[in-house]
Amino acid sequence: MLTQTVDVHEAQKRLLELLGAVTGGSEVMLTIGDKPIARLVPITPAPRLRVVGLHAGAIWTSEDFDEPLPDALWLGDA
């Protein structure tokens, strides 16, 4: 991620330009003199929450899903 360092007074004049850079994936470090005071970074969208039971009955599991596999499978005879 590309980081630009900009003085707060300069940032006031170039705010739309800096926001465009942030939207493009860059980071902007705001300073007063040589002292960093804030960062402008892109917002990452929050993950969507999963809804329990939304697709109830859409899948099924066989009765023997947890039974051991046959020896023939492991020996390559299957």
pLDDT tens per residue across span 9-64: 999 999 999 999 999 999 999 999 999 999 999 988 888 898 888 888 898 899 99
Residue 61 within a domain: no
Residue 28 lies in a domain: yes
**pLDDT value at residue 76:** 85
Is residue 70 in some structural domain?
no
Range of the domain at 23: 3-40
Residue 36 lies in a domain: yes
Is residue 78 over pLDDT 80?
no
Residues 6+ apart with CB under 8 A from 39: 27, 28, 29, 30
Number of domains in the chain: 1
Residue 22 within a domain: yes
Kindly tell me the number of DSSP H helices and DSSP E strands found in the chain.
3, 3
Quote the pTM value. 0.56
> Is the residue at 50 inside a domain?
no
